[in-house]
């Protein structure tokens, strides 16, 4: 369970924690700590697909931590940022297409039953992202290999990708 003390929370930005710990009178005011954090944290404007497009695992961690902390604070039982297939597919499709394999690994690690759609696989092949395709083949059972990926690899002159897919 999340602590009610914002200074003990993993969702508060490090720079806010440093400032507040150096000023105990500010740190004693939980609402001020949380207001500073909200003011300085731009992640509330980001979505999972945005973070995947940016290629930032750190931002994804921040988004999920923030979303989960907000759900816990509100007593919500609603799905968190990455508990729905739709959130996973939007994020993984973006990451696969752009070749952000660290992000793909992060997503699959947190949503192991998520399905990677065939159009995402085809986009990775089209863009020559062999390492992403190899990792998905070796580590994830829920990838839809539709056949278009071979055409996309060949049509865009990605011979190594085509060899792998063959």
Domains and CATH numbers, the chain: 1-40 (no CATH), 45-165 (1.25.40.20)
Average pLDDT over residues 38-44: 72
Comparing CA positions, the residue from 63, 126, 61, 46 lying closest to residue 93 is 126
Distance of CA 14 to the CA centre of its chain: 20
Residue that is written with structure tokens 């990775």 in the block: 124
Cβ partners under 8 Å of residue 155, min gap 6: 126
In the chain, DSSP assigns E strands to none
Give residue 49's pLDDT band: very low, low, confident or very high (50, 70, 90).
Answer: confident
- pLDDT > 80? residue 151: yes
What is residue 142's three-state secondary structure? coil
Total residue length of the chain: 166
Backbone angles phi, psi at 111, to 5 degrees: -140, 70
Structure tokens at 146: 């539709």
Q: What is the pLDDT of residue 2?
A: 45
């Amino acid at each position: 369970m999340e602590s009610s003390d914002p200074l003990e929370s993993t969702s508060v930005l490090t720079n806010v924690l440093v400032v507040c710990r150096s000023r105990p009178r500010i740190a004693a005011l939980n609402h001020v700590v949380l207001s500073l954090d909200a003011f300085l944290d731009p992640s509330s404007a980001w979505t999972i697909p945005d973070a995947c497009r940016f290629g930032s695992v750190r931002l994804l961690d921040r988004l999920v931590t923030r979303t989960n902390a907000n759900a816990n604070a509100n007593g919500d039982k609603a799905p968190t940022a990455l508990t729905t297939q739709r959130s996973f597919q939007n994020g993984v499709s973006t990451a696969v297409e752009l070749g952000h394999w660290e992000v793909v690994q992060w997503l699959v690690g947190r949503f192991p039953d998520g399905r990677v759609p065939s159009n995402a696989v085809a986009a990775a092949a089209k863009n020559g992202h062999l390492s992403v395709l190899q990792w998905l083949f070796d580590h994830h059972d829920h990838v839809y290999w539709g056949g278009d990926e071979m055409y996309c690899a060949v049509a865009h002159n990605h011979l190594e990708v085509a060899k792998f897919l063959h």
